[in-house]
């Protein structure tokens, strides 16, 4: 039975799964840049990883912000306890994200291949660091090492423990694997079969490593946190694990036969299933000693948040679909100017608006500065902003410039 107080957590888990898949693909792309090696072949890998992620990486990273904001709005005490206890890995992840973003900002200015290689290598370190750090944080929460408090638990062993390190390694391996799947499909769409093959081999290798890490992880979990292990090995927890394993094996098979497009979705299913399994295994506990029910904010907040997320999702999902369709369709790459762009010049449009602008300025000052009532201030501010807008149209362009374009008459 799903209660209102569970709903934001479900949103946060969906966000976490999407961040693992989409944000993970970005960090993984950074990983392949890091190990691309020298020479022309290395450069090809790095360039491809950069161009494929360029238009989408920022949107992919917003999922993390989404998870944070939903958690602190709906479960403030739990969020605060997690953040103060796991401050080290979360901060390291934050620094890694800054460096990753820096790499994108810098690459837009680099010119020579040597500079690009330097930028990619220096900043790609973050691509290994961040998924590992976030993984250790998730492991700390899952293994019940965070309880209510500031900090609620050891700030060191809460993330430096067998389960955390295992989750961190799994996160890094999965990111590399997921990126390779994404990039091989992308290279094929570019018509570069040779590059697609190279990413396919990387995907298969990383997939095997990630799978092995997952199985080793179950062993670690059994020794470290027997309770969680038991919940994952029985009932609906087991169902989720089985689904995840099936999806993982299926993904490897799809990559083996070069079906990259469906492989993308099955690998996402593998992640979503394991996150769902974790949630089911831990339910109704959010962090040690605090249930989801007790952690949840009041009804007004939960309702407002759910409405905001649903409305925001209604805006964001179609937009994301558009972005991915344009990216995956190769519409955001290269410099082939679309021919036949019909533009009908309509001639100068700048008017002299001195009088209305002056009137708005005087009205704005009168209502905002001389008058004292709140309603007068509202009128005054509106008039001042209108003054800026109206006057802008008269002064933004030089007079000679407005006259130089052909008169339509």
Partner 1 sequence: MTLAPALLAAGLSPGQQRYLSEARQMQALSFAAHIPLVCFGIALPALVLYVEWLYLRRGDELYRTIARRWSRIMAALFAAGAVTGTILSLEMGLLWPNFTGTFGSVFGLGFAIEGFSFFTEAIFMGIYVYGWSRLPPRWHFASGIPMAVAGFAGSLMVISVNGWMNHPSGFRIVGGKVVDVHPLHALFANTYFWHELVHMYLAGYMVTGFLLAGAYALCRLRGAWGRYERTALAIPLAAATLASVAQVFVGDWNGREVAATQPTKLAAFEGLGRTVKGADVHLLGWYSHGHVSWGIPIPKLLSLLAFHSTNATVQGLDAVGPADRPPVNVVRFAFQTMVGIGTLLAALSVYALLVRLRRGRLPESRWFHLGLVAAGPLAVVALIAGWVVTEVGRQPWVVYHVMRTTQAVTGAGGIPVGYGALALVYLALAAGVGWVLMRLYRRPLEAT
Contact positions with partner 1 (CB under 8 A) in 131-150 = 148-150
Report how far apart, in Å, the C-alpha atoms of 324 and of each of 180, 199, 292 are: 17, 20, 34
Q: Does residue 362 interact with partner 1 by CB under 8 A?
A: no
Give least dist CB 250 to partner 1, A. 30
Query: Smaller CB distance to partner 1: residue 156 or 257?
Result: 156
Pattern 269-308, partner 1, x by CB under 8 A: ----------------------------xx-xx--xx--x
The yes or no reply on residue 345 touching partner 1 (CB under 8 A) is yes
Select 250 or 366, whichever has its Cβ closest to partner 1.
Answer: 366
* Site size with partner 1, rule: CB under 8 A: 111
Using an 8 Å Cβ cutoff, are 172 and 131 in contact? yes
* Residue from the set 1, 111, 355, 409 that interacts with partner 1 by CB under 8 A: 111
Site string for partner 1, 12-51 (x = CB under 8 A): ----------------------------------------
Residue from 265, 322, 351, 362 touching partner 1 (CB under 8 A): that is: 322
Between 77 and 251, whose beta carbon lies closer to partner 1? 77
Nearest distance, CB of residue 356 and partner 1, angstroms: 14
For partner 1, which residue of 257, 335, 407, 409 counts as binding (CB under 8 A)?
A: 335
Q: Applying CB under 8 A, which part among 28-36, 172-180, 248-256, 346-354 lies near partner 1?
A: 346-354
Residue 64 found at the interface with partner 1 (CB under 8 A): yes
- Residue 113 sits in the site that holds partner 1 (CB under 8 A): no
Token digits of residue 176: 């590399």
Our CB check for partner 1 shows the closer of 204 and 405 to be: 405
Q: Which of 334, 328, 337 lies closest to 53 in space, CA to CA? A: 328
* CB of 56 or CB of 247, closer to partner 1: 56
Residue 392 is a binding residue for partner 1 (CB under 8 A): yes
Which 198-257 residues touch partner 1, going by CB under 8 A? Answer: none
Contact 102, 30 (CB under 8 A): no
CB of 78 to partner 1, least distance (A): 8
How far apart, in whole angstroms, are the C-alpha atoms of residue 304 and residue 292? Answer: 18
Residue number with CB closer to partner 1 (235 or 329): 329
């Amino acid at each position: 039975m799903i209660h209102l107080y569970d709903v934001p957590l479900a949103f946060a888990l969906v966000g976490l799964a999407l961040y693992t898949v989409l944000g993970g693909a970005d960090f993984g792309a950074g990983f392949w840049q890091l190990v691309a090696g020298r020479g022309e072949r290395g450069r090809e890998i790095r360039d491809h990883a950069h161009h494929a992620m360029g238009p989408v990486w920022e949107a992919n990273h917003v999922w993390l912000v989404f998870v944070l904001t939903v958690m602190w709005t709906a479960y403030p005490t739990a969020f605060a306890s997690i953040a103060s206890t796991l401050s080290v890995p979360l901060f390291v992840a934050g620094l890694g994200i800054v460096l990753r973003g820096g790499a994108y900002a810098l690459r837009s200015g680099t010119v020579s291949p040597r500079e690009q290689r330097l930028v990619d290598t220096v900043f790609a370190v973050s691509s290994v660091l961040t998924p590992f750090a976030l993984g250790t944080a998730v492991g700390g929460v899952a293994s019940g090492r965070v309880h209510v408090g500031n900090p609620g638990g050891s700030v060191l062993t809460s993330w430096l423990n067998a389960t955390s390190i295992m989750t961190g390694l799994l996160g890094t391996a999965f990111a590399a694997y997921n990126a390779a799947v994404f990039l091989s499909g992308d290279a094929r769409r570019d018509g570069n079969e040779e590059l697609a093959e190279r990413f396919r081999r990387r995907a298969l290798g990383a997939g095997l490593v990630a799978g092995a890490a997952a199985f080793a992880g179950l062993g670690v979990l059994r020794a470290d946190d027997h309770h969680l292990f038991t919940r994952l090995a029985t009932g609906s927890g087991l169902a989720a694990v089985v689904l995840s394993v099936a999806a993982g094996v299926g993904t490897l098979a799809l990559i083996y036969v070069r079906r990259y497009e469906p492989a993308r979705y099955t690998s996402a299913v593998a992640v979503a299933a394991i996150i769902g399994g974790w949630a089911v295994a831990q339910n109704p506990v959010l962090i040690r000693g605090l249930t989801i029910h007790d952690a949840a904010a009041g009804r007004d907040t939960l309702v407002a948040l759910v409405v905001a997320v649903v409305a925001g999702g209604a805006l964001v999902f179609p937009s994301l679909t558009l972005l991915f369709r344009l990216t995956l369709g190769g519409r955001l790459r290269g410099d082939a100017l679309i021919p036949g762009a019909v533009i009908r010049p309509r001639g100068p449009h700048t008017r002299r608006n001195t009088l209305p602008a002056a009137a708005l300025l005087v009205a704005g000052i009168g209502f905002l500065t001389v008058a004292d009532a709140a309603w007068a201030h509202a009128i005054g501010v509106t008039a001042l902003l209108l003054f800026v807008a109206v006057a802008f149209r008269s002064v933004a362009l030089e007079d000679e410039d407005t006259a130089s374009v052909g008169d339509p008459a």
